[in-house]
Structure 1
């Protein structure tokens, strides 16, 4: 009987060893899977960052080409304002003589008339 138990004990030992090997293989597979997932995540993050940088550069180029900067808009407004002031000064200078003459003619050429509400009571 002792001989019969010994082969069973040996079989149990083999089963336990096989179970341990299987557990080790499953754990190793899980570690490989986790490692692959981390690598895939890192690669995806790198790709996303690269794409984000490209899109940001395209956006900045678009702004530069189509919108300009705030400094450019300010400079353009200053130039336009100075140009309009110069135009108004030129227009005033060319029309000043006529305007002064017209005002003097109105002030100096007095034509007395009776007001429409005046009633002659005499």
Structure 2
């Protein structure tokens, strides 16, 4: 009986060691997975940063800097506004005079469809 109990104890100890080894293996596996995930995330971030830099470089080479575009658009807008204001001032009196002449020039006459009855 004593040998049976020793055999059971050995089996229990072996089972305990096996469980510990499995737990250690799971811990190592989870650690490797976390590490691989972190490395993949870092690699993705690096790749994304590289692609964004390439895009900005190409965009700048094709379109120029956006600051220059904004300044050019502002200058063009100011030029057009000045031209519109100059034309307004130039033709304002003439147009106003013509409108007043049309409003004051009233010639009463019968409409062509009016039929006079006696």
TM bin, normalised by shorter chain, reads 0.5 to 0.7
TM-score, normalised via structure 2 length: 0.59
Task: Note the residue ranges of structure 2 that are not aligned, 5 or more in a row.
Answer: 58-64, 110-118
In structure 2, the CA distance between the partners of 1:119 and 1:66, relative to structure 1 (3 Å rule), is same
Determine the C-alpha separation between the residues in 2 that align with 1:104 and 1:21: 112
TM-score, normalised via structure 1 length: 0.58
Quick one: higher RCO (CA 8 Å, sep 6+), 1 or 2?
A: 1
Q: Offset at 1:105?
A: 9.3
Within the candidate set 89, 96, 103, 2:91 is matched to 103
**Matching of residues 44-55 of structure 1 within 5 Å:** 44-55=33-44
Greater Rg by CA: 1
Determine the C-alpha separation between the residues in 1 that align with 2:15 and 2:72: 81
Computed over aligned residues only, the root mean square deviation of the Cα atoms, in angstroms, reads: 3.5
- Deviating runs (4+, > 3 A) in structure 1? 87-93, 102-107
Aligned length: 97
Task: Note the residue ranges of structure 1 that are not aligned, 5 or more in a row.
Answer: 1-11, 69-74
For residue 119 of structure 1, give the secondary structure of its aligned residue in structure 2: coil
**Matching of residues 1-122 of structure 1 within 5 Å:** 12-66=1-55, 76=66, 78-88=67-77, 99=87, 103=91, 106=94, 115=105, 117-119=106-108
